[in-house]
Each structure stands twice: as structure tokens, then as C-alpha cells.
Amino acid sequence: MTAFADNDGLADSVAAIEKKIDAWGRLHVGGYGEVAMSRNFYSDNYLRYSDPEHYQGGSHGRFDLPHVVIYLGYDFGKGWSFSTEIEFEHGGPEAAVEIETEEAGEYETEVERGGEVALEQFYIQKEFMPQLRVRAGMQVVPIGATNAHHEPNQFFGVYRPEGENTIMPCTWHEVSVSVSGRAGDWSYMAMFLPGLDSERFGNQSWIHDGSASPFEFKIANSYAFAARVDNYSVKGLRFGVSAYVGNSFRNTLYPTESAKNDGVHGTVSILSADIRYEGHNWLVRGSGDWGHLSDAAHISKFNISMPKKSTSKRQEVASDAVAAGIEAGYDIFGLMPKMRASGQKFYVFGRYDYYDSMARMESSASLGWCGRQKVTAGINWFPLPQIVVKADYSYGILKRQYNNEPSINIGVAYAGWFK
């Protein structure tokens, strides 16, 4: 009996150890992070756009941690899993003091989303088959190239592409329900989510801040739909299209029941297309975005009339905004057999961006400095696939009456799995 008992105890111990090993193997840990240093050769005075003649020249520097993200995931088995990403923006909580260019240089405390840290993703997923996955929770809305591919090894510049990052939420995340999958050369995602909040729209940022909420919950008086489709039929090439539509006007706690607001919806519509090609030592990425806001003139008047202490920017907002960008890099290590064998890559790249957050106004003139071009050139060195060292020179080109904005930027980033 004693021998049998000992064997049973040993078997139980082995089973317990195997269970722990299996559980540990189901846990996934990863993330990404960026360190950035910049010297901007233009004035950072808040009057530089309203009085450009008096603020020519000048320079200022900035050190930053734009994004640091910790990823945790667990596979429960039978198709069930969960994923979460905790993001620290600029090395701290999502609150900052800013000097408002459009409000006489007043200091304002900007709260982008309630809470001390940004929970960028948290969703539970059930995979029925590779062609069908269902998710519920906080997810990234895959509209535009940057939202769908925002890790620092997925763009060349030290900072994320400026156009999409200006006119749309980035990284856009919402509590939502989605279905997604991949079949052959096609992948897709369709999402049901709360609408944006037009109270937080602005002139320079268009709808960028409309996904945020200063409250402990996200108002969902109106709903929205988003979808994305990607194709991989051509070797080395991915082509994607995405679209979003949803009302925004009544997604606020501020009263909107007045008769003068009847029929006002503030429908936001976005169409986007993006490409990525990799082959023959070349890596090319490009994107184009167009967005439309209905009832923009009414929303502008509504926002401007809001109380000064409201969360509104109290600014005019455009009916249309646009952004486009393309970048191309050549891996010169691909020409060196020894370096190619080591797995290192060294890209020399160039990038061009055009965007205008006030491309079309319904009832007034746009602010000229909201439309601009940007030319960037630099290098990306990958000593390891997970590590990238970046350096670039960028030149922001504004309309003639304003001062252009050159800068030098250096960055180090990682993106990968620890386990």
C-alpha cells in the first residue's frame, strides 16, 4: 500500500508540474517602447501662427517617451483567449498642461481619457476557425495605416506619420465588438463601437480627440461601424482599405435637446487606403485618408458657445479633412552578404506627407497653418529584428505667410515578444 501511495503521490506531483508548465506556455508577454530626442529649429511661442513675422527663427529641444506599451495575453484553450495592452504615453498618465495657441496663450490642463494609465487594449476572443474570430472589449479601431500598424518598427520616422496622427485618433481604441478572420489572401475586420464626441473636435486636430472621454465611462448615445479589408495576393505586397461611419453630435453630457439642434447628427465618415511592399531590399509604405463631418458649421457654433470650463476646445471644425503620405527605404546591408547573413538591416529612407485638418469649411475660412506638407529623410538601423535605431531630418512646409518648421530627430525603439 505504501509503495502504491508513493507512486500515486509522484504521479500527482508530475501532473501538477506539467500543468504549471502548460499554463506558463499559454502566457504571452511582449510590448514596444520609444525613446525620442528632437531639436526643432523654429519658435515654439504660442503666437507663432497668429503673428508669424515676429517669430521667425529660434529653436527648442525636446526629450520624450512617446509610447511605452506592455502586452499580456493568455490562451485558455478551446479557442478562448484574452489580450491586454497597457500604454504609458510620454512617460506618465494621460494628463498634461498645454499653452493653447487659439486661446491667448492660456495654460490649460488637458485630460485625454479618464484614469491614470491608458488601457489601449483589453479584449476576450473566441476563435471558431481562422476565418472567424469574435472579440469583445477595448480594441484598436483599424482605420488608416497608422492605427492598424502603429508599432515603432512599422514606420521609418522617429515619430508616427504626422498626417494620420493629426486628424484621426491615434492609436484609436474603443470598447467594442468585432468579427475578424483570414481566408487565403484576404483578411478582414468589422467592428461595432460607440460614436465619437463632437464636443471635443477642433481646428488643428479635426476629430482626433473625439474618441477620448474625461469621464470614467465612454458615452454611447450614438453608435458607429468600422471595417477593414487587406489583400496579400501579390508576393511582398499588402493592400488595405478601411472605412468608418457614425454620428457624433449627441455623444456628450451637455444638453442637446433644444429645438435648434433638431436634425443635427454630426455624422463622421472616413475612407482610407494603404499599401506596404517589401522586396529587392526595398520597403515602401503609403496611405491616403479622406474624412467628412456633416453639420460642421452647426457643431462649430455649438462648441464655441460652450462654457469656458467645459472639455470642449471651443473651436471651429472643418467639414472635410485629408491626409496622405508615402515613404520608401532601401536596405543597403542587403547588398553586403556578411551583413545580410547577420540579420541586420540598415535602411536609408525618404518620406513625404501632406495633410489639412481644415481642407473644407462650411461657413468660414480655414486657418492657413492647418494645411501643410512635410519632407523627411533619414536612417533606420536594425541591429536585431526587435531593436531599431532611428535618425531623421524633417522639414515642415507651411503656406507662404507662415514660417517653415525644420527639425532633427533621434530615436531608439523596441517591439517584440519576451515570451
**Along the 419 residues of the chain, how does pLDDT read in single tens digits?**
444 445 666 666 656 666 666 778 899 999 999 999 999 999 999 899 988 999 988 899 999 999 999 999 999 999 999 999 998 887 766 566 666 665 555 656 666 654 457 888 999 999 999 999 999 999 999 999 999 999 999 999 999 999 999 999 988 999 999 999 999 999 999 999 999 999 999 999 999 999 988 777 888 899 999 999 999 999 999 999 999 999 999 888 888 888 888 889 999 999 999 999 999 999 999 999 999 999 999 999 999 998 888 888 889 999 999 999 999 999 999 999 999 999 999 999 999 999 999 999 998 888 999 999 999 999 999 999 999 999 999 999 999 999 999 999 999 999 999 88
Here the cell at position 133 is: 474570430
Tell me, what's the pLDDT at 268?
A: 97
> What per-residue confidence (pLDDT) applies to 202?
92
pTM, 2 dp = 0.88
8 Å CB contact between 150 and 142: no
| Distance of alpha carbon 350 from alpha carbon 335, whole angstroms | 19
Q: Please, how many CA atoms are within 13 Å of residue 48, restricted to the half-sphere of its CB?
A: 19
Looking at residue 365, its pLDDT comes to 86
How far CA 93 is from CA of 73, 116, 311, in Å, comes to 23, 5, 18
pLDDT score for 301: 93
State residue 2's pLDDT score: 44
What per-residue confidence (pLDDT) applies to 37? 97
Please report the pLDDT score of residue 311 as a whole number. Answer: 81
Query: How far is C-alpha 197 from the geometric centre of its chain's CA atoms?
Result: 17
Domains along the chain with CATH numbers: 2-417 (2.40.160.10)
The beta strands (E) that lie in 280-418 are given as: 282-293, 320-331, 345-360, 371-384, 387-397, 405-417
| Residue 292, pLDDT score | 98
Q: What is the pLDDT of residue 115?
A: 41
In this predicted structure, what is the pLDDT of residue 13?
63
Q: What is the pLDDT of residue 3?
A: 45
Q: What is the DSSP letter of 217?
A: S
